[in-house]
Structures are given as C-alpha cells and as structure tokens.
Amino acid sequence: MRKLQHQKHIDSYVNPIKRALKYEQMMKIEELNQSQLANKLGISRVRVNQILNLLKLPKTRQKHILKNGKEKMITERSLRNN
C-alpha cells in the first residue's frame, strides 16, 4: 500500500520551475495579474507569488531543477527552505 502511495506521488509530480513558467505564460497570454491568476486557479495570490518567485533563482539552478526535478523529487517547498 505504501509503495503504491509513493508511486502516485511520483506520478503526480509537477516540476516547480515548469509550473512557474506556465503561470508566467498564462499571465502574459491572458493579461492577468497575480490576483486574477490566483482566482482562476483557485489558489491564493500569495501562493502564486511564491511559485513565480522561483523564476528569480539563478538560471543555472533553474536548468538543474528542470533537468533533475522528478528524479530527485525537487519540490517548490524544498527550494524555499534552502
């Protein structure tokens, strides 16, 4: 049972940099601000801001996360705690 739960967690993994890039893209295409995007996604504006702040990481670190995120289970929360 535990192994199945772990596999579901791995399968549902979304790379935090990809998520941030997607949010940024949605904001540009749909001309939304953070509050409007948050409402559209059903999350808080603070959460949107936290995710978008990942794009302020050095580009080399972003590339590493994009390449190794799922393999190393790099999460947005773990990045904030570093």
Express each pLDDT in 12-27 by its tens digit: 678 889 999 999 999 9
Residue keyed to tokens 């549902």 = 12
Predicted confidence band of residue 6 (pLDDT cuts 50, 70, 90):
very low
Q: How far is CA 28 from the centre of its chain?
A: 17
Contact residues for 27 (Cβ-Cβ < 8 A; gap 6+): 33, 34, 37
